[in-house]
Amino acid sequence: MSITKRPNILLISMDSLRRDHLSCYGYERQTSPFIDKVSSEGTIYWDAIAPAGWTLPSHASLLTGMYPSKHGADDENQFLDKKHKTLAEVLTELSYDTVGFSLFPYVSSSVGLSRGFETFYELFRLGFLNNLLSRFERRIIHRDSGTRQIIRTFKLWLRKRYDFRKPFFAFVHLGEAHLPYWAPPPYRFMYLNGKGKNLENIFDINKHHDKFFGRNVKLDSEDIEVLRSLYDGEITYLDSKVKEIFAILRESEKIDNTIIILTADHGDNFGEHGLIAHRFNLYDSLIRIPLIIRFPVVFGSGNRIEKLAQLTDIFPTLLDILGIKDEQWWREIQGLSLLSTDSRKYTISEQSRPNFAALLEKYPGFDPSPFDKRLRTIRTKEHKFIWNSDYKHELYDLRLDPAETNNVISQDPQKAGELESLLNEWLNSFQKTGQRDYKIDDEKTVRKRLEELGYL
């Protein structure tokens, strides 16, 4: 498909945003009134799956159209190889004005994800952001995680730095739904309803979730519900900020010729499988994500698409809309255009071997053995097979058990074998990137931000 006038592209990635905590996906709390409106004006994908369970590999897949085992940016190699063409590089070559905005070191030049952008704002490096505030200051001053500053910077760029003779590609990474969940008032406590016997303790767990994995703290059901409520407050605050971004586009009269994509890199756990945050698993609570596209001239309005989709599909979809047939750009892409008449038979998600250095340093008694493995999952509409490198494989019947609580691999070894064969066939269909010893830079601002997010 091609269009006469090349549209602008706004790609908004909302870190850690669970699909099933948005009201447009059926959540009981009305957490996302504006995003709900966007979904009614555009197309909502009901079964979108992340290719990984954390920020770096998922964003690398989003920006390359490749899976982690091909692009190689993961726990074991925290950098995107220059040989892989990024969406920003392609669009820059197509005379787009390309700009990116990020709050996290794992979406930055430090890991190779800014490559191809003519301008890339790494706002976590600036001293006035919350990551440089003390815990006390953040609680008293009521700052957010940096989204306000991203919006101000985007508005300024659009007014003063954007080359209006070109279409633009803007990638906006928002971190409000990421731990720690501590939105500015009045959003912070709007769903608590008096819950939480000891909010000081909850805030400490919320901010330092490694304590949970280090077995230094236990969370009961009420604690989990408090975390969930704080998270939902973050989502409603995030929803209000997305509304502001749309207002900027309307003020500049660009919204009607802009492809707007709302998605997430992964979700978060709230007690499912005995887990919190987004580590050490590939269950649907983590990898089933929102995907909403607003561009009525191509996608129509008010559509709900049931077919499987992945973050890897966004790159080829945009090339398809722009009518780009260049084989050099298409050759390495593993995603499938969402405009294709073909449907995905399955999705793939991957987790490399985790890095336990920070946890072991903080908690010498931490036992990493239950999590010290690589994971891959192949998921159809009906079943999900999770390959474990320790050979403790899992199979779930998603029709009967959408929460993945009953591993039926012993009851249905034939289905498990079929899916494992498909997974192996897929793995053998491309050249995988080898692991290399690469560390993100350790300058003070980067390390400080990673500590705030619980990575270090």
**Structure-block tokens of residue 380:** 């159809």
Give the per-residue pLDDT at 196: 61
Domains for the chain: give ranges and CATH numbers.
Answer: 8-345 (3.40.720.10)
Torsion, Cα of 61, 381, 236, 447 (10° steps): -30
What is the pairing mode between strands 43-49 and 303-310? parallel
pLDDT tens, residue by residue, 150-177: 999 999 999 989 988 999 999 999 999 9
pLDDT of residue 266 exceeding 50, the answer is: yes
Give the per-residue pLDDT at 367: 85
Give the per-residue pLDDT at 275: 83
Give the per-residue pLDDT at 127: 46
Give the per-residue pLDDT at 193: 83
Weakest mean pLDDT among 130-134, 300-304, 352-356? 130-134
pLDDT of residue 2 exceeding 70, the answer is: no
pLDDT tier at 134 (50, 70, 90 boundaries)?
very low
Average pLDDT of the segment spanning 183-189: 91
CA-to-CA separations, 455 to 78, 149, 219, 265, 277, in angstroms, rounded:
13, 23, 20, 16, 11
pLDDT of residue 276 exceeding 60, the answer is: yes
Average pLDDT of the segment spanning 218-241: 90
Let me know: does 303 contact 55? Beta carbons within 8 Å: no
Average pLDDT of the segment spanning 64-87: 93
pLDDT of residue 426 exceeding 80, the answer is: yes
pLDDT tens, residue by residue, 292-350: 999 999 999 999 999 999 999 999 999 999 998 877 778 889 999 999 999 999 999 99
Mean pLDDT, the chain, whole residue set: 88
pLDDT tier at 197 (50, 70, 90 boundaries)?
low
What are the start-end ranges of the E strands in 28-96? Answer: 43-49
Let me know: does 70 contact 62? Beta carbons within 8 Å: no
- Which three-class secondary structure state does DSSP give residue 233? helix
pLDDT tier at 208 (50, 70, 90 boundaries)?
low
